[in-house]
Each structure stands twice: as C-alpha cells, then as structure tokens.
C-alpha cells in the first residue's frame, strides 16, 4: 500500500515529467487504483514503480489507461434509461439535428445504449453521438463495437427493464464468444480523445451524458468540468450525471431545473 506522501510525489512527478495533471482527482480513488496497479504489475516497492513511470513513456501511457478505466454496462440503471426513452428523447424529436455528448464514455456501452434508444424513436438518422474519453485504449474498444457475448443476457435484461420491446439480439451478431453491434450505429458516432481536466468545449449539444466520472474528481475539478458542460449545452438542453453526482452547490445550479426523480438537469437560462 502506498502512503499519502508517496501519492503526492507520484502526482507531482507525473505532472513534471509528462505534463499530465492528476492533482484534481479524488485522492482516495486515485490511491486505490495506483495500489491495484502496483500489485498487478508486480513491483516490489514504490520507488521501482515511480522510476518506471518517470523514465518509460510507454509505461506511463499504460498507467494512465489503467487508472482512468471506468466500469460501465449497457442500459445501466434501467429506470434512468426508461426516463430518457419516455420523457427526454421525445423533447429532442422536433429538432432538425440532435447532438449528444458522452463525456468519459469508457468502452462505449452507454453510447450504444443511446443509439438503440434513438433508433427505436426513429431519430438516429438525424443524430450524432460524440463519444470522448481520456483513455485511447477504451476508445478503440468502443469504436470496434465488439463486446463479450457473456454480457448480453444482463444487457438484454437491462434493455427490457428500460422499456425495450424488441429482441435485443436483433442489434448484434454473435460470433466466437463476442457480440458485434451493427455498423449502422457506429456510423452515427464520433470517437475522440478528450480530457475533461484540460480540454475545452468543442460543440453545442442537446444532451450531455457524464455518468459516474465526476465522483473521481475533487470539488474544484468537478466545478471546472461542470462549467465546461454548461458552456457546451444548448438552452433547454439536458445534463445527465451519475447517481452519486450533482450540480447542487455549484456555480451553475441556478440556471438549471432537476428532473423529479433522476440525476438529469434541464438548462433554463
């Protein structure tokens, strides 16, 4: 187990040697992930790990990829997707074109869930889904549209609980233990590396999804990310956060109204 002082040394050295700022990340979460990596990669002590991070760019890249991976699944929290399906997406239907940003999209399960919702609402043809993450490895996984077949039963159950009416297997082809999703979905997606810590706004969106990412940030970094979302959201657009995340007590709170049940906010100013 690394101690608090060692964690601060790591954060400072990563910034000094590679220009990557972990300073705003939750210390408890970061510590758990670094501990896991040190044990996983078989380092005998912290000094050996730190030396490799400093001197080997390829290992530093590996470290960032491991530390920034978020757990995700299709139609996670089905009641949330049911709300999207029944209450939010219909309000987007009159728009001539729909732009949705999945910030911190990880390996893409959430993006494909959204694509299915839009397809079933007959809106995918006039939609574009921007899927961004700091981690290029998970973006490559998402772009391939291939997921473990063993997960499809759970994903299908989530889909049905979210109000889905079709046979979920219609959306993918099963082969050699993997499920390959329809390329038609991928054609409506733009995958790009983006750092919520340091990168700016790049478009105006009708819906921004950033679920279970801000919990890894400290208060200042959360505020910075929320300001970025505010700058990127069209008026009357929606922001969706994770179950343990909120815009309450943030500078932007007054410009939004929250959905009665979900962590969804509508921009009203």
* Residues 14-32 pLDDT 10s: 999 998 889 888 898 899 9
Task: Kindly list the distances between the CA atom of residue 172 and the CA atoms of 155, 169, 184, in Å, as whole numbers in the listed order.
Answer: 12, 6, 11
Band of the pLDDT at 166, cuts 50, 70, 90? very high
pLDDT given at position 69 = 73
Q: What is the pTM of this model?
A: 0.88
* 181, pLDDT greater than 90: yes
| Least confident span in 61-65, 72-76, 144-148 | 61-65
C-beta separation of 111 from 80 below 8 A: no
């Amino acid at each position: 187990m690394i101690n608090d002082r060692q964690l601060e040394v790591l954060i400072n050295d990563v910034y000094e040697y590679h220009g990557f700022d972990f300073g705003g990340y939750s210390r408890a979460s970061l510590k758990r992930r670094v501990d896991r990596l040190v044990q996983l990669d078989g380092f005998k002590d912290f000094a050996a790990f730190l030396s490799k991070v400093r001197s080997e760019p390829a290992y530093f890249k590996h470290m960032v990829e491991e530390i920034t991976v978020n757990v995700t699944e299709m139609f996670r929290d089905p009641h949330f997707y049911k709300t999207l399906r029944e209450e939010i997406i219909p309000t987007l239907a009159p728009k001539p074109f729909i732009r949705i940003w999945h910030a911190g999209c990880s390996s893409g399960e959430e993006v494909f869930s959204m694509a299915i919702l839009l397809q079933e609402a007959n809106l995918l043809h006039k939609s574009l889904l921007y899927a961004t993450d700091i981690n290029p490895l998970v973006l490559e996984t998402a772009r391939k549209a291939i997921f473990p077949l063993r997960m499809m039963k759970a994903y299908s159950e989530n889909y049905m609980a979210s109000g889905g009416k079709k046979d979920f297997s219609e959306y993918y082809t099963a082969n050699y233990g993997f499920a390959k999703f329809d390329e038609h979905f991928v054609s409506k997606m733009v995958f790009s590396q983006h750092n919520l810590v340091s990168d700016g706004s790049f478009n105006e969106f009708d819906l921004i999804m950033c679920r279970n990412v801000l919990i890894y940030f400290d208060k200042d970094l959360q505020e910075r990310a929320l300001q970025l979302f505010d700058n990127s959201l069209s008026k009357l657009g929606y922001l969706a956060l994770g179950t343990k995340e909120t815009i309450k007590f943030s500078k932007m709170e007054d410009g939004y109204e929250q959905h009665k049940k979900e962590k969804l906010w509508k921009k009203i100013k």
